[in-house]
Structure 1
């Protein structure tokens, strides 16, 4: 048995609450799926992944535009597609009552996703 594990803590309730409050900032950005909020939690996860991919596509598109590897019609089509995707994301965030801040997951020691 590991001697560094706490198997029993006989501190006061206030001390326990204080320790739990210290943990709160690290878990606030995580998805907390329960039977009551599973739909919202799943929507948050899916929209977070879509938003991450959308941002990566935008960056890649800007690199291609800066590198002159796209024609004028391709640039226009790409811009229109990205605008439609952004509009749809705003619509979906509204449906699930999510904000941009909600889509930024905390990855623990790695920091925030976006």
Structure 2
């Protein structure tokens, strides 16, 4: 069976009920798929910023006031992400997009 044959044999519901970690390709749910993709990119950037901040803190290049401001900013960003995930009915697993042979994104 060729790849085209297997796609043609798949029922419409099997294509829309994709496992967690995949962006929905259903045209009826395009907004949800786009929100999932955008929030995934934002979460990836948030994690990168957090790691960089921790490196700066560990290196001793920041004073106590800067560390406090950085911590508050990161907590606020995480809180906002939680609000957005709740608004779009997504969880952490939904943002960890499956990249196939490369593994998961996050």
| TM-score range for the pair, normalised by the shorter chain length | 0.7 to 0.9
Larger radius of gyration: 1
Gaps of 5+ in 1: 10-15, 22-26
CA contact (8 A) 1:33 1:42 kept: no
CA contact (8 A) 2:22 2:94 kept: no
As a proportion of its length, which structure holds more helix?
Answer: 2
Q: CA RMSD in A?
A: 2.3
The alignment covers a number of residue pairs equal to 96
Gaps of 5+ in 2: none
- Closer, same or farther: CA 7–107 of 1 in aligned 2, 3 Å: closer
User: Could you state the TM-score of these two structures normalised by the residue count of structure 1?
Assistant: 0.75
The Cα offsets for residues 19-42 of structure 1, whole Å up to 9 and x where unpaired, read as xx8xxxxx6322123331111111
The Cα offsets for residues 11-67 of structure 1, whole Å up to 9 and x where unpaired, read as xxxxx67xxx8xxxxx63221233311111111001101111111111111111010
> Which segments of structure 1 move beyond 6 Å, counting only runs of 4 or more?
none
User: Could you state the TM-score of these two structures normalised by the residue count of structure 2?
Assistant: 0.80
Partners of 2:93 and 2:3 in 1: how far apart?
A: 37
